Amino acid sequence: MRVVHTTGYAYDAPVTSSYNEARLTPRGDSRQTVILNRVETTPATRSYRYTDYWGTAVTAFDLHAPHRELEVTGLSVVETEPFSAPEESVDWDELAGPAVTDRFNEQLSNTEYAPRHRKLDAIARDLRKGCTPEEAVVAAADWVHAEMAYVPGTTGVHTSAVEAWAEREGVCQDYAHLTLVLLRSMGIPSRYVSGYLHPKADAALDDTIAGESHAWVEAWTGAWWGYDPTNAVAVNEQHVSVGVGRDYADVPPLKGIFSGGQATDLEVVVEITRLA
């Protein structure tokens, strides 16, 4: 697949300095092969790349010429496959053992977006009864899928899982955060994944369509594997993963600071083309 992710900013007065980080480079792993990636800006900037603490590729750039607009485009060509089930699975006793809890302490800890919640703890206990860890992951994600209504605009990037659950409405970010709350309450290491979703499994070759920025979860039950609670499906070749972290705060596509005018407009366009 080819993915083109373009973000445009407009300002009400010239911005004299800006410092930015872009997480727009897909991951290369056992499920994905990155054939091509580049991140470009208009106006042009000098950039450098590094890998952050969580293993996500970051393109950092700064701009010191006065400007009223900034456009950032990530272009990638990626070959994807479905996730395979872990060849070796662990049981609940192994998950609760010090070898796992020490190794995955950060993926078991609650965060501002995925906080501990007494009622959700009780729901998590009920969902894991009689299940293997893998079955519990699916049960938690499917419960979130059934519990929530997908309603764009009802939540924002700073909404926590508990706040979204209180309204029973949200978007993929909220579905992922709520699933993380349940999995971590069960003692299953889990992480937030940002990326893209091709909305049509049977799309024609070379047909460019409007894609989506998307979010889902990965759980560790002997190996990392992905599940999409928004659509209640295992992660497959339609998913392109970019960043992983404890929650959204670790993987925003773009973040930065600037001095000068105030931002007055933001436009985000994602286009995805199936190439093979």
Rounded CA-CA distance 71/257 in Å is 15
Residues 124 and 230 in one domain: yes
203 part of a folded domain:
no
Residue 204 lies in a domain: no
Would 188 be classed as within a structural domain? yes
Structure tokens at 44: 């042009």
Q: Is there a domain that residue 202 lies in?
A: no
Place of tokens 């093979």: 276
Residue 42 lies in a domain: yes
Whether residues 96 and 50 share a domain: the answer is no
Residue 57 sits in the same domain as residue 146: no
86 occurs within a structural domain: no
Distance, CA of 148 to CA of 129 (rounded, Å): 22
Cβ neighbors of 127 (< 8 A, separation 6 or more) are 136, 139, 140, 143, 182, 186
Does any domain span residue 87? no
Whether residues 245 and 258 fall in one domain: no
Q: Are residues 227 and 108 in the same domain?
A: yes
Q: Same domain for 265 and 135?
A: no
Q: Could you give the CA distance from residue 40 to residue 24 in angstroms, rounded to a whole number?
A: 10
Domains contained in the chain, number: 2
Q: What is the pTM of this model?
A: 0.95
- Whether residue 147 is found in the same domain as residue 187: yes
Give the whole-angstrom CA distance, residue 122 versus residue 19.
44
Lookup result for tokens 């993926």? 107
pLDDT for residue 206: 92
Instruction: Return the pLDDT at 112.
Output: 96
Q: What is the pLDDT of residues 220-276, one digit of tens each?
A: 999 999 999 999 999 999 999 999 999 999 999 999 999 998 888 889 999 999 998
Whether residue 36 lies inside any domain: the answer is yes
What percent of the chain lies above the pLDDT cut of 90? 90
CA distances from 61 to 8, 21, 126, 213 (A): 15, 7, 47, 22
CATH code of the domain containing 138: 3.10.620.30
Whether the CB-CB separation of 6 and 64 falls below 8 Å is answered with no
Per-residue pLDDT of the chain (276 residues; tens, 9 = 90+): 999 999 999 999 999 999 999 999 999 998 999 999 999 999 999 999 999 999 999 999 999 999 999 999 999 999 999 887 777 889 999 999 999 999 999 999 999 999 999 999 999 999 999 999 999 999 999 999 999 999 999 998 899 999 999 999 999 999 999 999 999 999 999 999 999 999 988 889 999 999 889 999 999 999 999 999 999 999 999 999 999 999 999 999 999 999 998 888 889 999 999 998
| Whether residue 243 sits in one domain with residue 260 | no
- 115: which DSSP letter? -
- Give the tokens for residue 38: 């580049």
Asked whether residue 246 falls in the same domain as residue 256, the answer is no
- Residue 140 and residue 127 in one domain: yes
For residue 18, what is the domain's CATH number?
2.60.40.2250
Domain span at residue 156 reads 92-197+209-250
* 65 phi, psi to nearest 5 deg: -85, 135
Q: Are residues 149 and 115 in the same domain?
A: yes
Residue among 134, 227, 131, 217 at smallest CA distance from 178: 217
Residue 219: per-residue pLDDT: 97
Considering the domain architecture, whether residues 216 and 266 belong to the same structural domain is answered as: no
